[in-house]
Structure 1
């Protein structure tokens, strides 16, 4: 790698190493986090994911041990060898070592073989891969399980798969073999028999992760360019690792309460009348709904920050009509600005030099929905400010949230060339470097604009993002399909997004593309009801998939689970309050809290909601029974109260209207009265669902809207249950002036 070590210097928290071929750095960030850095391209980090100084004063010891230099805190030791090989230890035991022997590359296919494969239509893009300009290879001991990496397809445990981090607009049906999707979150949790650790590879170029597929002796991370810049995160448990990663990259902030309600959307609601009819039908059928989404047709010729008055009427009037019935409006905004002299936003961008350019200095043009379009250069602070100010067009007419789409960035005339000129804050850059953070920076600008103009907690949705985007936006998994395999994939996909810091995430309930069925929709709403973002969305050209399209039975089942969602709103809100403090997601794989239990390592069809609820949805067509694994402890059926001993499997009944759910012994779950939308009536009464066993639960309450909670305007209620079933409540914090008028206890189970 870098040759022999010549010298080193300790510079505050950094140890500066001098090798024959290159300089390198090891920085102590905290007692359990260290940064490994080789400045191949820039001297500094220039991170988009990490904002502010994260290194804190930490006691550590540096010792020259001859063949290596030891850098040790109370929690973590790094041993730095010649070549800048870095091994990590805890309590004197190795937990992660660099692989010394070199990668064993797959042989190249001959030109003849490639031509034959291409002729028959095979994808040959995953051919042999050589060593990358930026690369780190880690030894595998054989017992590794891998989690995280954002929205990658496939199963919960990523062992034996390979992936790329390159935000990609892929409308085809996503399968297990897809290496890249819409998001690039290069964060990996490695679970071993005796240890657990995380690595965050902070490099925005196209990068590659191979988790034992190339060779069972190692896993690797490589990138096309940039610095070698990764953070090693140690801890005792998986929650420690998630906490360390979100300490670095930021945590999902507390959202407005209405955003946790049910959302309805479709690309194909092509007029205001259509949207109002759908909204009215939800009220007629008493299916709770908070939000109607406006897809691209509401714009005038797909020009961003305009309104199609011909089909959608007066914008403020249309949105007010929905508001009168309790609906919020969320509007889509794409980054592509129509090339149209005389169109205000295009003219402003040209005058302000806001758009990406060719290497020759011309404004770069591709095509998206408006036709020929240009791309805002969000790496420029002045462009983000301009984009933030443009949100005023939406907020002035009453729009409550913004849905950012097509921001990989997508393009209809081939991918943007790698040498298109963008900006990285104060210096010129390229599409190759800025592609993966384009959606991140667009979301940041949108968030800041909404916050400035409304004073409320912004609701932003994005399709494309990077590590750290959770500070600004919720996400959905993009253009899924109405396929049972995509319902099955939703559980591990959302769980891994949560482990990757993106706690506010969801899939399109029912599937976006293709045609849904009644049974598939009934099973999907049973997953959606527990997903942080709960939205039914479908594509133009597919059959409509509002529940009433499938008959009365489907309506009744759909209503049942949407109502369950609204009952559980205070529990979900509590989990978001916890997430802002700890980084722990709302929807969690069982392995997060039961990592020593090998039955959880590859559990793809169940999940936890917080620590207190196990949800085991049916994900197979025609299935009316479910094999459920319950981890250690005592569990109670959420609906019947039946008692179960943990650490074993059960075959339970699961007819179409039933989703198996289990509460842990001692759980106390807060619930509200069902309303048709958040704010229909005041939440004066809190119901506590109490399950047998000792336990403590802290419930959080604030105004559900603005940032007053950051100044102490919130209440905390601490509930304690004794073994004999006696429950007491004590106010731990009284800062919100509308406490509950009544708290009722509902005892479930024996």
Structure 2
């Protein structure tokens, strides 16, 4: 939210009360510090009258993390929901410490330190780590702000959702209907952090604009708006700074970030209401801060190995009866493009019937038998599309109404509208009975032979004039709904299929959604521009704590020409998860030409052979919080060029992937070191020494630039492998070495199920190798 008119002025009618001095310390111990701040200098007793006070509470939930709660009026009734913190277990109590002098208070947790200036007219905060300045809050940088209501309706991201059927934004409880229409006002809590020279900001969820968030206003409001605007399906109020720290704002409702936009040297964070709570997260580096954020909000769950294979979808509005489905699978098999997961989109149910969980009897007269047949014939898992919207025509709608399973209006009626599905209602997951009911529907679907679920939608959630079963604040529930929806389905799959077999293909998310992988990028067009937007969204999401990510290869909307399909296939198979999916046209490669078939076969084979490496990186993501696909800045924080790179990424620790966004020209950057072309398997493979920009003209459609970092060892599975979930420790592994500089390099070999490793392969500098902990079938790379 913008609270200024230029540098000095305030909008007409705004009341801004920013803290200028500490007037009292309410509580001080090594575990907690609480003090009050005045928006004016208190020089005499009269100055204590007719003035607001801000209360600031400082604690540390885990080492190298400092929590700050800024509050104004504290008599407010708290309505959930709240993000689930530390879901993987309570952390050890940090050894925090509070000290006090005449001029400042200091709160320290691990290496992270907060200095609070207590001199008159000089209030401010300074965060530092091991002596290195991170960020600061200057005088008046913490404030309560009342804005005239009309000023809040012109810039809010939330207006993009449901604005056609609902009035504008909520105001304070004491603002009457008359005030709302005649003006009224809305209260915000504001915290401004300094933004240093050259400092760059990343994350804030899946965002399709520039990877660097500097200069942007970013509102946390889930919306179904495709991949070409400021709207996003996955809004995460957490950012990473190139200075090596993170900031998490612990509010499920809309939080707004002004990143060097309202004020060029500040990051403004604002939220409606009387309280603002945030965590400054240290650790010594961007990677460490991201891992500490994962401790706070939850580690990504490890998806089963079979999910890393190729997904093939029926697409959306196409026809897909049993014969069509079988022809796709046979065609992919005949062309050496093995499919591991077959996805049935919306029309496995009848039209107007979504989401009834009832198979269309005309297209699939015996779904249980049919799914068993295709599994046996083509060795595929089956994914089925669902969403939390229940159409009025659906067979289960009446039951949901009678038993109170849907979100309601304030007058007690079921909330309904006609967008997407006629007369649709929305499941109220705050109702335990509705949760159990919906989980039962998913269970029955799984029993027909479905293995995994695509949880579509979850963004179009009403937030005005509605009520939830448990009394949750609808404003907070708008984003949080995605968490409950995906959690319900994910836990149901775990219960039915087993803990190591659960996976989703989800579109919407909020904080904690990384616990229920996999997420895909949403509706993109079939253009190079949309391909680049999609990648920016994925890298931004990776900077927000999500370990696994996918997208619609070839684009969702439109029919891509061969060059776009081929280029996108390369990026798609060198993503953690890979899906061919479209809207009105099938994404089988032979629809796009012979080069498309060759490219798909080549990329699928490469990914399958790389699975020992990829799955080891997936385990790392699930145990540390580091994503499989990483922005270059995360891996090379000291390389200034890496700060702006948003068209390439690291695929785990060792592989650099540079998708091609042109029919013939490839351009990418290699950081310092020696990089080896992954595709060159000759005895003297091509290498490039960085740092260097590289331009390759007439780059073949059947390839994608993939380079291996020096001092790396890759273990590749057999050439004839056709599934991703083979036993990595019990097949012949090809050992490839790349510019070894260490005396020995040790590579973990995953079992392929769960997070266990079967043993290690130790490679000496001279190229010799042997197994450790297990005898592996190893072979040197072929010249």
TM bucket, shorter chain:
0.7 to 0.9
Shift in alpha-carbon separation, 1:681–1:222, aligned structure 2, 3 A: closer
SS of residue in 2 equivalent to 1:311: coil
SS of residue in 1 equivalent to 2:574: coil
Asked if 1:291 is matched to 2:341, the reply is yes
Asked if 1:216 is matched to 2:257, the reply is no
Deviation, structure 1 residue 214: 2.0
SS of residue in 2 equivalent to 1:581: helix
SS of residue in 1 equivalent to 2:468: strand
Among candidates 461, 464, 470, match of residue 418 of structure 1: 464
Shift in alpha-carbon separation, 1:446–1:4, aligned structure 2, 3 A: same
Deviation, structure 1 residue 26: 1.1
Query: 2:548, 2:107 → 1: CA distance?
Result: 37
Query: 1:81, 1:358 → 2: CA distance?
Result: 48
Q: What residue is the counterpart of 1:200 in the other structure?
A: 248
Query: 1:471, 1:238 → 2: CA distance?
Result: 21
Q: What residue is the counterpart of 1:745 in the other structure?
A: 780
Query: 1:5, 1:304 → 2: CA distance?
Result: 60
Shift in alpha-carbon separation, 1:675–1:725, aligned structure 2, 3 A: closer
Q: What residue is the counterpart of 1:120 in the other structure?
A: none
Query: 1:337, 1:476 → 2: CA distance?
Result: 23
Q: Is the 8 A contact 1:142 1:216 kept in 2?
A: no
Shift in alpha-carbon separation, 1:352–1:62, aligned structure 2, 3 A: same
Deviation, structure 1 residue 380: 3.2
Shift in alpha-carbon separation, 1:72–1:45, aligned structure 2, 3 A: farther
Query: 2:629, 2:130 → 1: CA distance?
Result: 32
Describe how 1:666-685 pairs up with structure 2 within 5 A: 666-673=711-718, 674-678=720-724, 684-685=731-732
Query: 1:225, 1:282 → 2: CA distance?
Result: 55
Q: What residue is the counterpart of 2:129 in the other structure?
A: 90
Q: Is the 8 A contact 2:535 2:647 kept in 1?
A: yes
Shift in alpha-carbon separation, 1:357–1:67, aligned structure 2, 3 A: farther
Q: What residue is the counterpart of 2:548 in the other structure?
A: 504
Q: What residue is the counterpart of 1:79 in the other structure?
A: 115
Q: What residue is the counterpart of 1:633 in the other structure?
A: 673
Describe how 1:620-659 pairs up with structure 2 within 5 A: 620=662, 622-624=663-665, 626-640=666-680, 641-652=685-696, 654-659=699-704
Deviation, structure 1 residue 538: 0.4
Q: What residue is the counterpart of 1:180 in the other structure?
A: 231
Q: What residue is the counterpart of 2:454 in the other structure?
A: 403
Deviation, structure 1 residue 646: 2.2
Asked if 1:696 is matched to 2:745, the reply is yes
Asked if 1:599 is matched to 2:641, the reply is yes
Q: Is the 8 A contact 1:7 1:18 kept in 2?
A: yes
Q: What residue is the counterpart of 1:257 in the other structure?
A: 305
Deviation, structure 1 residue 22: 4.3
Q: Is the 8 A contact 2:303 2:518 kept in 1?
A: no
Asked if 1:431 is matched to 2:479, the reply is no
Describe how 1:553-568 pairs up with structure 2 within 5 A: 553-568=595-610
Q: Is the 8 A contact 1:34 1:231 kept in 2?
A: yes
Query: 2:102, 2:405 → 1: CA distance?
Result: 54
Query: 2:103, 2:248 → 1: CA distance?
Result: 27
Q: What residue is the counterpart of 2:519 in the other structure?
A: 475
Taking structure 2 as the reference length, the TM-score comes to: 0.83
Q: Is the 8 A contact 2:225 2:231 kept in 1?
A: no
Query: 1:46, 1:429 → 2: CA distance?
Result: 6
Query: 1:632, 1:680 → 2: CA distance?
Result: 35
Asked if 1:50 is matched to 2:85, the reply is yes
Moved more, 93-102 or 658-667: 93-102
Query: 1:516, 1:270 → 2: CA distance?
Result: 20
Describe how 1:345-364 pairs up with structure 2 within 5 A: 345-364=396-415
Q: What residue is the counterpart of 1:687 in the other structure?
A: 734
SS of residue in 2 equivalent to 1:428: coil
Query: 1:298, 1:497 → 2: CA distance?
Result: 30
Describe how 1:203-602 pairs up with structure 2 within 5 A: 203-225=251-273, 227-265=275-313, 266-267=315-316, 268-300=318-350, 301-324=353-376, 325-340=378-393, 345-409=396-460, 416-423=462-469, 427-455=470-498, 456-540=500-584, 543-602=585-644
Query: 2:355, 2:132 → 1: CA distance?
Result: 59
Query: 1:84, 1:582 → 2: CA distance?
Result: 37
Shift in alpha-carbon separation, 1:703–1:566, aligned structure 2, 3 A: closer
Describe how 1:132-143 pairs up with structure 2 within 5 A: 133-143=188-198
Query: 1:479, 1:51 → 2: CA distance?
Result: 32
Query: 1:226, 1:409 → 2: CA distance?
Result: 27
Deviation, structure 1 residue 154: 1.5
Q: Name stretches of at least 5 consecutive residues in structure 2 with no aligned partner.
A: 1-17, 39-52, 155-167, 169-184
Deviation, structure 1 residue 655: 1.9
Shift in alpha-carbon separation, 1:432–1:257, aligned structure 2, 3 A: same
Describe how 1:117-132 pairs up with structure 2 within 5 A: none
Moved more, 343-352 or 525-534: 343-352
Q: Name stretches of at least 5 consecutive residues in structure 1 with no aligned partner.
A: 115-124, 411-415
Deviation, structure 1 residue 160: 1.2
Q: What residue is the counterpart of 2:56 in the other structure?
A: 24
Query: 1:504, 1:226 → 2: CA distance?
Result: 36
Taking structure 1 as the reference length, the TM-score comes to: 0.87
Among candidates 140, 148, 154, match of residue 203 of structure 2: 148
Shift in alpha-carbon separation, 1:486–1:235, aligned structure 2, 3 A: same
SS of residue in 2 equivalent to 1:239: helix
CA deviation digits over 1:501-536, x for unaligned, max 9? 111111110000122110000000110111112001
Deviation, structure 1 residue 44: 9.6
Query: 2:732, 2:187 → 1: CA distance?
Result: 59
Query: 2:493, 2:715 → 1: CA distance?
Result: 31
Q: Is the 8 A contact 1:42 1:227 kept in 2?
A: no
SS of residue in 1 equivalent to 2:408: coil
CA deviation digits over 1:138-157, x for unaligned, max 9? 11222210111121112221
Q: Is the 8 A contact 1:667 1:697 kept in 2?
A: no
SS of residue in 1 equivalent to 2:457: coil
CA deviation digits over 1:600-619, x for unaligned, max 9? 11012221111211112211
Shift in alpha-carbon separation, 1:22–1:157, aligned structure 2, 3 A: closer
SS of residue in 2 equivalent to 1:277: helix
Deviation, structure 1 residue 51: 4.1
Shift in alpha-carbon separation, 1:27–1:671, aligned structure 2, 3 A: same
CA deviation digits over 1:624-666, x for unaligned, max 9? 3x33321122221112221222222233452222211111222
Q: Is the 8 A contact 1:516 1:545 kept in 2?
A: no
Among candidates 709, 724, 727, match of residue 664 of structure 1: 709
Query: 2:502, 2:337 → 1: CA distance?
Result: 26
CA deviation digits over 1:245-281, x for unaligned, max 9? 1111111122111100001111124322222211111
Query: 1:165, 1:646 → 2: CA distance?
Result: 38
Query: 1:587, 1:681 → 2: CA distance?
Result: 24
Shift in alpha-carbon separation, 1:132–1:685, aligned structure 2, 3 A: farther
Asked if 1:65 is matched to 2:101, the reply is yes
Q: What residue is the counterpart of 1:413 in the other structure?
A: none
Moved more, 233-242 or 720-729: 720-729
